[in-house]
Amino acid sequence: MKVLLVGSGGREHSLVWKIGQSPRVSKLFCAPGNAGIAQMAECIDTPPTDLEGLATFADGNGIDLTVVGPELPLAMGIVDLFEERGLRIFGPHREAAEIEGSKVFCKDLLRKYGVPTAQYGAFNDRDEAAAYIDSIGAPIVVKADGLAAGKGVIPSMAKEDALKALDTIMVEKALGDAGKRVVIEEFLVGEEASFIVLTDGEAVVPLASSQDHKPIYDGDRGPNTGGMGAYSPAPVVTEEVHRKIMEEIMIPTIRGMASEGRPYRGVLYSGLMIKDGQPRVLEFNARFGDPENQPIMMRMKGDIVPLLEACINGNLQGSIDWDPRWAVCVVMASKGYPGSYEKNKVIRGLDRVAEMEDVFVFHAGTAGEGADIVTNGGRVLGVTGLGEDVKGAIDLTYSAVKKIQWDGAYYRSDIGKRALDRLQ
């Protein structure tokens, strides 16, 4: 079968890597891809937001299955368009993808169906939002309603910080239309985890647990990013917590979406805060995580393609087998990220890492320039390694990271530390 993957980041590279292992797949395409993906798939120069162009390509090239990586084409309705053309595609419809596309919709849904989450208020007016902040105090979280590439959530430890965040979003319009509405939310404390499931709209099959590291600096300091590293499994998700997540969060949410006339099929990602064994929802995403997907795909056994097709067909069942080893992904980023950064820096050392066992380098922001691979984004690489225990996975991954250089390369040095601390 022929498969088209939509997207260009580390999440998409990990999906190409895993889908490409399927004996059923004869040809892989990716739109637009990156330098790493180009070594595994034929990249086509069509952006993920060109829905008509992607549908025309899929129709004209006999694509049997399209898999969507990023959130924006889902929010724009790529699944609806493809299905109207009779094309098979994995992902939620536009109305279902609103669970990520609108934080207000998501919070209202969770409240209606009794899914545990933070208390909140939603506002279209800056002054009303400011009055709400003033009334409940800090710490507090200010969230842009719409899609903001993982940068629309601003935790604020003081009221002054919250008001500044509010002005950044609603007055300065730093996030564009995503900031027309805001959610002002209770500041939850505890330990974060990522919990991702596959669903056909009724059945729900969990992927391995994982934990992301959002802030740019060690010790979870500095501004949030798209994610600076991840590991799997997440020891904070014990068997009991896992049961609660499924019974109190994931299954009720899927059922709630169906009751709202928005049946959800595809992959659903829940960012959670866990305290005293009780999980609460921070956010939902309508896609695989990034960088969580890199360690998850490294640990997944078996063929992913039948699972993706079962979600489309409505016959998802069973469970997934996982490599018992730990996987750790360290994101190597461009200096200046998540702010401004330079591109076209030559990356060296990838050939040395390619000789290592149990390590794979997933490309995110890379491009080919002659014989060289150069930086082409803020998050550039996701170096991912496997180990018998979390320390072994951390040590192997960082040994690979240190073999890779470019001018201005930056990475956190503490990915996985929370797991180490919890297990000691």
Quick one: 148 and 203 in the same domain? Answer: no
Quick one: 386 and 293 in the same domain? Answer: no
Quick one: 131 and 207 in the same domain? Answer: no
In a domain, 405, yes or no: yes
Domain boundary residue, one of 186, 214, 238: 186
In a domain, 108, yes or no: no
CB 179 within 8 A of CB 173: yes
**Separation CA 275–CA 282 (nearest Å):** 13
**Separation CA 305–CA 310 (nearest Å):** 9
Q: What is the pLDDT of residue 223?
A: 87
Strand bridging mode 140-144 / 89-90: unpaired
Q: Which residue has the tokens 């919250």?
A: 162
Let me know how long the chain is.
Answer: 424
In a domain, 103, yes or no: no
Containing domain of residue 247, as a range?
191-313
Quick one: 216 and 235 in the same domain? Answer: yes
CATH number at residue 287: 3.30.470.20
b (16+ CB within 10 A) / e for 314-353: eebeeebebeebbbbbbbbbbbebbeebeeebebebbeeb
Q: Which residue has the tokens 């930086």?
A: 375
Strand bridging mode 215-217 / 326-334: unpaired
Q: What is the pLDDT of residue 148?
A: 83
In a domain, 105, yes or no: no
CB 326 within 8 A of CB 386: yes
Q: What is the pLDDT of residue 424?
A: 78
Give the chain's end-to-end CA distance (angstroms, integer).
47
Quick one: 251 and 305 in the same domain? Answer: yes
What 8-state DSSP symbol labels residue 188?
-
Q: What is the pLDDT of residues 130-153, one digit of tens each?
A: 999 999 899 999 999 998 876 788
Domain boundary residue, one of 55, 76, 93: 93
Quick one: 304 and 338 in the same domain? Answer: no
Number of structural domains (the chain) is 4
Domain boundary residue, one of 93, 127, 160: 93
Quick one: 156 and 75 in the same domain? Answer: no
Per-residue pLDDT of the chain (424 residues; tens, 9 = 90+): 999 999 999 999 999 999 999 999 999 999 999 999 999 999 999 999 999 999 999 999 999 999 999 999 999 999 999 999 999 999 999 999 999 999 999 999 999 999 999 999 999 999 999 999 999 899 999 999 998 876 788 999 999 999 999 999 999 999 999 999 999 999 999 999 999 999 999 999 999 999 999 999 999 999 889 999 999 999 999 999 999 999 999 999 999 999 999 999 999 999 999 999 999 999 999 999 999 999 999 999 999 999 999 999 999 999 999 999 999 999 999 999 999 999 999 999 999 999 999 999 999 999 999 999 999 999 999 999 999 999 999 999 999 999 999 999 999 999 999 999 988 7
CB 359 within 8 A of CB 353: yes
Q: Please name the residues in contact with 160: beta carbons below 8 A apart, sequence gap of 6 or more.
A: none
Quick one: 352 and 381 in the same domain? Answer: yes
- Dig out the tokens for 208 from the structure: 């391995």
CATH number at residue 368: 3.90.600.10
Quick one: 31 and 89 in the same domain? Answer: yes
User: If we measure between CA atoms, which residue out of 143, 148, 154, 150 comes closest to residue 121?
Assistant: 143
Q: What is the pLDDT of residue 151?
A: 74
